[in-house]
Structure 1
Amino acid sequence: MPLSRSVGEMSAPSFCVPVFGTLAAIAILLAPAAASAQRGPAQGAAAQNAPSQGLRVVARVNDDAITDFDLSQRVLFAIKTSGLTDSPELRQRMAQQMLRQMIDERLQVQDSKRLGVKPTEGEIQNRYAEIERSAGMARGQFRQYLQSVGVAPDIATQQLEAQIAWAKIIRRRVRSQVDVSEAEIDDALSRMRANVGKTETRVAEIFVPVDRADSVDEGKRSADRIMEQLRRGAPFAAVAQQFSQGASAASGGDLGWVLPGSLDPALDVALERIQPRNYSDPIRSGAGWHILYVVDRRPFAASRPDEARLNLVQMTLALPPNASPDETNRATQEAQKAMSGVKQCSDLHVQARQVKGATSGDLNNIRVGDLSGNPQMYDQIPKLPIGGTAGPFRVAEGLQVVSLCSKAGGDGMPTRDAISQQLLLQKLDAAGRRYMRDLRRQATIDIKT
């Protein structure tokens, strides 16, 4: 496997791909009766069932209406994609929580229109392609799946629009207000060094926000309904994707590895009592209700060579798979000659320009463990001194030579860039929750009883 291809595979998108979404569930925001009447037969059972629902309005969000059909479809979709056992009782219990999420998503789409960042049709179709590729589906298969479970495909389209809209809002209105200073990174590194030898925990969470004092009980009821599904055997990651309203929802609630003192004090205390592969009861924090799941535990900062990150320069000499031995020998000699002229990694770019048919490029932040697809690369490249070269390696495109520019990590301590990114995500999550809270307070929301 060529090194450049393995890097591409590392960046493949996940099934749910909002950048900093507060909601990971697929929204069911169907058009009112007039639009429903325009749907063709391809919409399947969902469209056919709409008239029997009566299309009664259950909530108005500013000028947008949510009908009982919208809500029932949203509940059905959540059940089908979370692995829950469908029943009339389950649908009734889930309805209130689904309605709250639908209201938030309506507000996000409305705000994106106000800011002039409404998602384009091309962006929505690209997101469909990402979902299908990440789930191993053929083109168009996701829509077929929706039809097969009785859900109208335009429901997914509306949710994808909300996901993209929220990501754009975060970039436009929130990102510029959030920064991570070098002092904050230094402080985080100092705390981590003090924790060397302690136990770190890989944690996932389901988060239900509480924006007002009078909504604490409502949030607890939502968390209790989620707990009920977990106790019935629903997969934690699937439930988190559907129901969590934290930034980690898209990745199944995964918060990564956390150290003692990294979370809210109430969460830290509860975390100590949870055994691996178990989850907590709902825990109250200043932001809302949390259900924590402990994936695993390990000693912090234990040496992990596969986690080291490399910055490399790569040169490729084109050579067809069926090249003769003479052609291979000539290319090998040219590669070895180029290697002899490299004193620092940037020299490999210079050498590539002097070899007919050769190309070069930078490969940054490569995880050592991801080189294992090519045993020679995995064995040789991490051992290089800075400025050293390795190869030539036979890959699909020809022969590759690699030079090491820098190496970080592997001793168990994260790099400064990794710490900066983690702090940034934490700040964006908090700022996004405040922004969403303000949208709710400014909106006219009328929930029908």
Structure 2
Amino acid sequence: MIRFLLSLFVLNFFAAGAYAQTGIVAVVNDDVISKLDYEQRLAFVKAVGGLDVSKKENKERLLRLMIDERLKRQDAAYYGVSVGKDELQNAVDITMRQNGTTQEEMTKRLKEKGVPFSVLQDQIETDLLFVKTIRKIAGQRSEISEAEIKSRLKEIEERTKEKQYLISEIFLPVDEENNDAAVYGQAVKIVMKIKSGASFESMAQQYSKAPSAQNGGLLGWMAESSLEPATKEELALTETGQITTPVRTKTGYALYAVRAVRMPEDVKEQDAYHIAQILIPPSSPEERRKLLQKISLTKGSCLKFISLAQSEKKTPKIDLGNIPLTELPQPILDLLNETPLTEPTDPLKINEGELVFMACSKEKISTLPSEERLRDQIETKRLEKTAERRLRELRREAITEIRI
């Protein structure tokens, strides 16, 4: 459940606000988004570096997020859902840890840009309200039975007897028949961009309309029997490390990147790294140098590395456990492969600063997920689908007037 909640925080980290009579930007079911709301949101995005708000399409995206926020709050009110002070503060603390900072530091950072912390706090509250509303709507339907767990495990076991592909996707829906050619043309342009040097992951995040977009398009291992015939045929003709031509599916066009292929005899076990990480948040060159020096002194000891991360109190999750090599993003896998075990890697730049990893060990693990992990995956996917469906309904039923 917490994974689903945090994914909402990450996806909507740009939105929040309070009404003020300084001009109206939009009206959502008689609920007003003021000009002050909008300007504070723009300032917030600039402060956290989330979007380039000088671009018209990003301003429009930001306003759509604000409209969605109003709809979520209205839905929570309709279902009588509320959030307590302690519950909200706990969610704020989690969000701050996830982004390698504290409420005090974020408040100071935003204040320097003239943005109140409430802009972010209100967004976190909105996500909490929406999650609780979705759980109320789902009710007992979101509960996972033992029979369902056993059935899913049996299904996965059966698929280990088949050839499997580790793939990433970029999915472009065709909403109307007369849009088919235009969507195909867009898919071809994306192929050309990738062949010209753009990463598949960045193109997926920018263009794909599938839920996997937030993970760079990664779908994971897919058995042949789970694939549409056209997809199966195209993957069979595509070499590992290459991308397919646009594939026409039942609902649109898809591009696939083939990461790896495994035969049934290779499916029982897989290589995995036991990984720990340390976040280096944005700081002065001197502070960064000192932390990197401390990290270098942990060479040869995963325990020391983890202890340092705990003492720094900047890393939201330190011990990542065993992660299959095939599930690691390529930049991280490259760093780990070129670094000896129990030695810190070079820093990897991310939006929130830099990450340093350490592979504590490399071992063989089962390809079958644990019951706990499977239960979490099923519940998360179910809630995400319910949330997506509910938001579509709210958008469709809303009376929205945009005045800019």
Match of 1:24 in 2: 11
Which amino acid in 1 is paired with 2:260?
R
Contact 2:9–2:124 (CA under 8 A) maintained in structure 1 = no
**Per-residue deviation, 1:263:** 6.7
State how many pairs are aligned.
Answer: 311
**Structure 1 segment 320-359 matched on structure 2, within 5 A:** none
Change (3 A) 1:139 1:76: closer
Which amino acid in 2 is paired with 1:198?
K
**Per-residue deviation, 1:108:** 1.0
Change (3 A) 1:304 1:255: same
Match of 1:304 in 2: 270
State the Cα RMSD in Å. 5.3
Which amino acid in 2 is paired with 1:96?
E
Which amino acid in 2 is paired with 1:193?
E
Contact 1:266–1:283 (CA under 8 A) maintained in structure 2 = yes
Is residue 33 of structure 1 aligned with residue 24 of structure 2? no
**Per-residue deviation, 1:195:** 4.0
Contact 1:22–1:432 (CA under 8 A) maintained in structure 2 = no
Match of 2:32 in 1: 65
Candidates 411, 426, 448, aligned match of 2:381: 426
The 1-side partners of 2:371 and 2:395 are apart by 36
**Per-residue deviation, 1:293:** 7.1
Match of 2:354 in 1: none
Contact 2:38–2:63 (CA under 8 A) maintained in structure 1 = yes
The 1-side partners of 2:197 and 2:226 are apart by 31
Change (3 A) 1:254 1:167: farther
Change (3 A) 1:195 1:74: farther
Match of 1:157 in 2: 121
Change (3 A) 1:411 1:188: closer
Is residue 437 of structure 1 aligned with residue 392 of structure 2? yes
**Per-residue deviation, 1:443:** 2.6
**Per-residue deviation, 1:180:** 5.2
Match of 1:124 in 2: 88
- Structure 1 residue matching 2:11: 3-state secondary structure: coil
> 1:200-256: per-residue Cα shift (whole Å, max 9, x none)?
4264x788999x869x89x97xx99xx8x999979958995x998876677677655
- Any stretches of 5+ residues in structure 1 without a counterpart? 1-10, 35-54, 309-365, 371-408
The 2-side partners of 1:161 and 1:251 are apart by 24
The 1-side partners of 2:73 and 2:111 are apart by 24
Is residue 136 of structure 1 aligned with residue 65 of structure 2? no
**Per-residue deviation, 1:173:** 0.9
The 1-side partners of 2:322 and 2:136 are apart by 36
Match of 1:111 in 2: 75
Match of 1:194 in 2: 159
**TM-score normalised to the size of structure 2?**
0.56
**TM-score normalised to the size of structure 1?**
0.51
Match of 1:173 in 2: 137
Which amino acid in 1 is paired with 2:141?
Q
- Structure 1 residue matching 2:95: 3-state secondary structure: helix
The 2-side partners of 1:121 and 1:282 are apart by 49
**Per-residue deviation, 1:117:** 1.7
Change (3 A) 1:187 1:31: closer
The 2-side partners of 1:187 and 1:283 are apart by 28
Change (3 A) 1:119 1:177: same
Contact 1:18–1:24 (CA under 8 A) maintained in structure 2 = no
Contact 2:164–2:222 (CA under 8 A) maintained in structure 1 = no
Change (3 A) 1:140 1:285: farther
More displaced 10-residue stretch of structure 1: 67-76 or 259-268: 259-268
- Structure 1 residue matching 2:27: 3-state secondary structure: strand
**Per-residue deviation, 1:178:** 4.1
- Any stretches of 5+ residues in structure 2 without a counterpart? 275-318, 324-363
Contact 2:16–2:121 (CA under 8 A) maintained in structure 1 = no
Contact 1:76–1:151 (CA under 8 A) maintained in structure 2 = yes
Identity of aligned residues (%): 25
| Larger Cα-atom Rg | 1
Change (3 A) 1:141 1:93: same
The 1-side partners of 2:141 and 2:267 are apart by 32
Match of 2:343 in 1: none
Which amino acid in 2 is paired with 1:304?
Q
Contact 2:76–2:129 (CA under 8 A) maintained in structure 1 = yes
Which amino acid in 2 is paired with 1:186?
S
Contact 2:172–2:209 (CA under 8 A) maintained in structure 1 = yes
The 2-side partners of 1:287 and 1:114 are apart by 33
**Per-residue deviation, 1:431:** 2.6
Change (3 A) 1:239 1:246: closer
Which amino acid in 2 is paired with 1:201?
L
The 2-side partners of 1:22 and 1:208 are apart by 25
The 1-side partners of 2:245 and 2:34 are apart by 33
> 1:174-212: per-residue Cα shift (whole Å, max 9, x none)?
242346563685366335533446344264x788999x8
